[in-house]
Chain A
């Protein structure tokens, strides 16, 4: 494991070091110390490396990640793993707003709670939250899975498209066009796999599934109240 100090080298120094790694490097395991809540740490990585961060991070940590495995040993600020393409981002603590926003692929695991707008406009990413998520989570969620082991805040899945939402706790207030849907075998199987990949312990049978009623897909004046 190679150590880099975010305090002395700064985000620029550390990111450019990680960006310059060739994909076939054998320097595959990195430890970033002293993050001190700095922003844009380990964003734009592109390769099968493991990057562990010892402490709390600021905004957009792991943004647009491709292939890398990023483990944040602490809490994460706004937009952790935003627009992730592939790979894994794990937050051992809590995450702030817009976690996994617009993500296209890969897996984001938040072991604690996530704040509002978790999975907003998600486009294929899988997100597993060990705790609860805040309001407006999965707003306009297009594709991918959001698993919430705690409760979901207000207006879950507002204007949702094809993403699948699994919530273990309460999800009493669903957003426009979001409805509870039947858990079929395929969904149970999918959820089982997601929890396993995320290494989060929970029983599939305790979850309910939510998704789009597909009533807002084409404008209809009789649904204008919902817009």
Chain B
């Protein structure tokens, strides 16, 4: 017998991978589900699976830098007396004061204003810092109604009725006690230090018929001036968008499952809702079927990272996109300069997502006065403005290459897909073929 039998190398299970094993151990020792911030982390069909064709014999490109390529967008042209006009088709998504520090909220307002776009409040009401620094501010109307009042409603430039979020369609919010500082508690009319659960359903309307009446009330209170958005998570985009239009929305926001959240159960983030890419075509189809495409504007969010993502979302029919996570990263979230501190928290730069614990070394997802002081709102705002500018230039570069004088002229015919899945979801041909799955 040969005693020298070669051993196989140790092999880890693809099913029971390291992360899965660690989660089983964590669950076994704590008895409670994992809560974290951010969006879906698993690999999903996404904008990276699409490519632009660019111009060629049959298409005429535009000269980079010289020939104009418009990026402006007007939101709220359907009913509002005062639609909002943005210079770029990239808005800042709603992120609550409470989940974010006052400095971070201010920085978002500053960055958005420099870039000529809007920012959005969040679950927790409007802060004066944010209103003061935001040229165009969208005020969220959420199930919790924390801080909701008619004065802020009238101070807003638009109102966003939040029905759901991509990270957790069907779920409410949570802000754990650690982050309920005096100021946050006061704005939410709750005792300090308690876990605060935001309701998952609105308290005074249930279906789309009631929502229509609710929107009528909001318009009455604000003299029919403000555009009213409805934000839905990527659950049933075709029907959700059609019903939003029926309920009287000026703008519909569709947030896919990669969309970030301040804090939710991991199981919710990773297993409920559809990828952003899968939501856009059904949403656009609903608008087209109702004759409302471009009349009711569509904003898409969830995992938008660069100008290519922006251009692809617009080509598929969106009027604008919205960013959350990327904006926080631009401010300084998960920056390697805080690596030593991330390690102390059992994480690493780029992976830190225990935002609910309120100990963010970057001073963004925290209410700790010492930590939040680390973020200079002026400097961080500048960084966000730079980033927004780069994204816009990138989207224009692509649009020009496709021969478009406005980013809104991009169309599905400019795209092909790298995978069968992406081709089916985006309803564009698989690269090298003329095959659109299902067509």
Contact = CB atoms under 8 A, between A and B. Distances in A.
A219 B213 contact: no
Contacts of A63: 217, 221
* Interface size, B (range): 20 to 34
B220 A121 contact: no
A123 B145 CA distance: 9
A101 interface: yes
Contacts of B176: 219
B221 A140 contact: no
B205 A79 contact: yes
A140 B213 CA distance: 24
Interface string B170-198: 00000011000000000011110111010
Q: Could you tell me the dominant secondary structure of chain A's interface residues? A: loop
Contact of B210 (A19, A59, A64): A59
B24 interface: no
A83 B199 CA distance: 15
Contacts of B224: 12
Interface in B240-298: none
Contact of A124 (B189, B197, B205, B216): B189
A85 B217 contact: no
B213 A85 contact: no
A98 B203 CA distance: 7
A175 to B, nearest CB: 14
A14 to B, nearest CB: 10
Contact of B177 (A15, A64, A142, A218): A218
Contacts of B223: 16, 19
A144 to B, nearest CB: 9
Interface in B195-248: 195, 197, 199, 203-205, 210, 213-214, 216-217, 220-224
Interface in A178-227: 217-219, 221
Nearest to A219: B195
Interface in A44-58: 44, 46, 58
A78 to B, nearest CB: 6
Contacts of B199: 121, 140
Interface in B131-158: 144-145, 148-150, 153
B190 A64 contact: no
Interface in B359-374: none
Most chain B CB within 10 A, of A58, A123, A139, A143, is at A123
Given A11-B220, A16-B223, A39-B216, A121 B203 contact: yes
B204 A85 contact: no
A40 interface: yes
B50 to A, nearest CB: 41
A132 interface: no
B145 A121 contact: yes
A69 interface: no
A64 B213 contact: no
Interface in A87-132: 97-98, 101-102, 104, 117, 120-121, 123-124
B5 interface: no
Given A40-B216, A40-B217, A63-B217, A101 B204 contact: yes
Given A39-B213, A142-B189, A218-B193, 4 more contacts: A43-B217, A79-B214, A101-B204, A121-B203
29 contacts: A12-B220, A12-B224, A39-B216, A40-B220, A43-B217, A43-B220, A44-B221, A46-B150, A59-B210, A59-B213, A60-B204, A60-B213, A64-B221, A66-B150, A78-B213, A79-B204, A82-B204, A83-B148, A104-B189, A117-B203, A121-B144, A123-B145, A139-B203, A140-B197, A142-B188, A161-B191, A217-B191, A219-B176, A221-B30
